[in-house]
Amino acid sequence: MSSNSDSAWKEEQRVNNQKIADLQLGDSFEKVRSLMGTPRFNEAFEKEGKAVQVIFYRTMHKHSDGETTKDECTALIFNGGELVGFGDKAYSRL
């Protein structure tokens, strides 16, 4: 039998995966945050004069330690406030 906390992260992953599947490149940061809610992690830096922001949402389970780590999340990458990529491949290209 699953505990409530076990059910909570499974539901979070399921919902986040569904929402990410509906995202389109070019979506605004505001639109994505409105749809997805508060990210688990957030990174920001400047590249070639544009603000780059990466937000992470839990989408998979790897460690049974009670903590969410970045390797259990999907990265959403924004350049100049616009979604330009998501996932491991896009994040590794930064």
Domains belonging to the chain, first-starting first, are 4-92 (3.30.1450.10)
CA of residue 68 relative to chain centroid, distance: 12
Q: Output the pLDDT for position 4.
A: 67
Model pTM score: 0.90
DSSP string, 30-92: HHHHHHH-S-SEEEEEEETTEEEEEEEEE------SS---GGGEEEEEEETTEEEEESHHHHH
Within a 10 A sphere around the Cβ of 56, how many other Cβ atoms? Answer: 20
Q: Output the pLDDT for position 1.
A: 40
**CA–CA distances in Å: residue 66 to residues 8, 9, 19, 42, 89:** 11, 10, 23, 20, 26
Profile the chain (94 residues) by mean pLDDT over runs of 10 residues: 72 97 98 98 96 98 89 97 97 94
Q: Output the pLDDT for position 27.
A: 99
Whose tokens are 């979506």? That residue is: 27
